[in-house]
Amino acid sequence: MNFQVNLQGVIDLLSNHLYSDPGVFVRELLQNGVDAVTARRRLGHAFDETVKVEVFSSYTLAFSDNGCGLTESEIEQFLARIGSSTKREQQDTADDFIGQFGVGLLSCFVVSEEIAMITRSALEGDALEWRGKPDGTYTIKKLQHEVPIGTTVYLKAKPDYEDYFEYYQTSELLEKYGQFLPIPIMLIEDKYERTINVPTPPWLMDKEEAIAYVERETYSKPMDIIPLSSVIGGVSGIAHILPYAVSLQDEKRHRVHLKNMLLSDKMNNILPAWAFFVNGILNTDSLRPTASREAFQENDLFFAVRDELGECIKRYLMELSERDPELFQRIIRVHYASIKAMAVEDDELYALFIRHLSFETSYGDMRMADILRDHRMILVAVSLDEFRQVARVAKAQELMVVNGGYVHDLDLVRNVTAVEDDVSVDILSILEFANRFEELGYEEKLAVQPFLDQSDELLEPFQCRTLVRWFEPADIPVLYNTDREANFFKLAEASEQEANPLFAEVVRVIKEGLYEGPYARLCYNYNNPMVRKAIESRDPELQRASIELFYTQALLLGNHVMGAEELRMMNAALLRFMNRGFGGEAEAGL
């Protein structure tokens, strides 16, 4: 037994699922006309190749070609059997046909209740009329009058699809799909006739012509034009570099043609995903389309072609960096954020771009090329907070610290050893940073120890321990360093004290499950006169107030969040100093 096909259901499938736009019927009829002309040319006939589209006032269109036409047996074989196509039968011996799936004509039923076709074969003399309806019925009859060799398809719009049969809409669809076809496409209304084709497609234009074409089409001037080609896929084309920033997640809109017929103006996978900063206009002779002819079959050839096109873009950018470094830098500035994301994923692109990317450092914003020129040892802070804690002090110590807190910057900096042999890159240990400073002498250590003991005792509730070092600049009295673990532990301590008993017990269990807990570090600068005065003071209460102010000042300077107890400490310490200065020692208990 044979399967029974519900043609109405197939048409619904085509209109709602296979084709993205009802206007695709124009492309399918253009394709049939071009392929018919191609087939007649292969027969060796001499004729003026043409495809004509005529618009009538009754919402009727006529698509005519002077191609090979169809015999009655071919009509029975290729129009009455869904999925059968003359082009597929001949694809082993020729590759110049666009369509080969045998479903293209059915797209006409999306916009019309009937397809009427008059045809005369170049091989036989009978003129035939074929009429098909979406319920699966059709008729064939021989015409008594003479018609020229070729085929004419008549369509009348069904309700709600009249717009597709208006002159300007038809003209727009013909230009969209067929303006680069090598066979003349004529649009006719009444006695007015014009040619749709343009003389040169973008992939055959020189750079200036291509830039002008893209600017006309997109209303924005591209930054540059990259020639594209693939020998194995028979691809030629251009990629125009967008003059505005785009996201990696933005929909890609590459315009792709098969044998000069537009397949899609929003294909997103013909170029590698990392080529987000360009839009492509391409033509191929060899890639195989899907049944909808709005994409290509993703086979080994397709992926090989995509890789080859990606190599074209890489090579061009490498040459551009040498030939026109100013333009290369402009491209980087416009697409900076996405180029960073791309460089993380691709080793070759990383090698190409890394020296041109800028980073926030302890010496200010610098390009990696300048960083590598002046520094062979690089420290990377893993977060913006950690970088801010040490940036100013690091420069005074002649340490190159790069802020790795921005997206991708940490990975980009860590991988620089892959392109530069004699450079070292280390993650900054923020809690050990103060150990890089100059230690005090033996006598000085003995002198400051009582002050440190008092400081550790006062700051123990805030998960902070202290030390004293010499460091520059001298106007920074203290340096507070903490990391995420220390901040978490400190937050847990505060939550445990303020939460209800049940939640406080949960926090306590979590804390104990970790370990004793990391401590932040407060480093006093022995090079700072205020710190020296506080250490040398013999007044315990004044030292206490100084320690509390040094600690809270360091929190403020480092943009750290202060808890309620720390705010109380700061206010109390300030009040002590104010009372001392205003002569209110008695009131302050001093």
Can you say which residues are annotated as belonging to the binding site for ATP? Answer: 28, 32, 65, 151
Distance (Å) of CA 16 to CA 9, 291, 384, 584:
10, 14, 51, 86
> What is the layout of strands, in order, in the sheet containing 150-157?
138-142, 127-132, 112-120, 150-157, 60-65, 51-56, 185-189, 192-195
How many other C-beta atoms lie within 10 A of the C-beta of residue 89? Answer: 13
Amino acid found at 150: G
Rounded to whole angstroms, the Cα distance separating 34 from 478 reads: 80
On whether the CB atoms of residues 462 and 551 are closer than 8 A, the answer is: yes
On whether the CB atoms of residues 263 and 294 are closer than 8 A, the answer is: yes
Give SS3 for 195: strand
Residues at the annotated binding site? 28, 32, 65, 151
Rounded to whole angstroms, the Cα distance separating 193 from 487 reads: 77
Rounded to whole angstroms, the Cα distance separating 410 from 587 reads: 53
Give SS3 for 468: strand
Strand partners, 186: 52, 195
CA 340 to chain centre: 11
Rounded to whole angstroms, the Cα distance separating 572 from 566 reads: 10
Give SS3 for 46: coil
On whether the CB atoms of residues 389 and 431 are closer than 8 A, the answer is: no
Give SS3 for 515: coil
In angstroms, how far apart are the furthest CA atoms of the chain? 126
On whether the CB atoms of residues 508 and 496 are closer than 8 A, the answer is: yes
Helix, strand and coil percent figures for the chain, each rounded to 5: 45, 20, 35
Distance (Å) of CA 12 to CA 103, 116, 319, 427:
13, 20, 51, 61
Pairing state between β 377-381 and 424-427:
parallel
Rounded to whole angstroms, the Cα distance separating 136 from 118 reads: 19
Q: Show the tokens assigned to 40.
A: 């007649």
Report how many helices (DSSP H) and strands (DSSP E) the chain contains, helices first. 20, 21
**Phi, psi (5° rounding) for residue 258?**
-115, 115
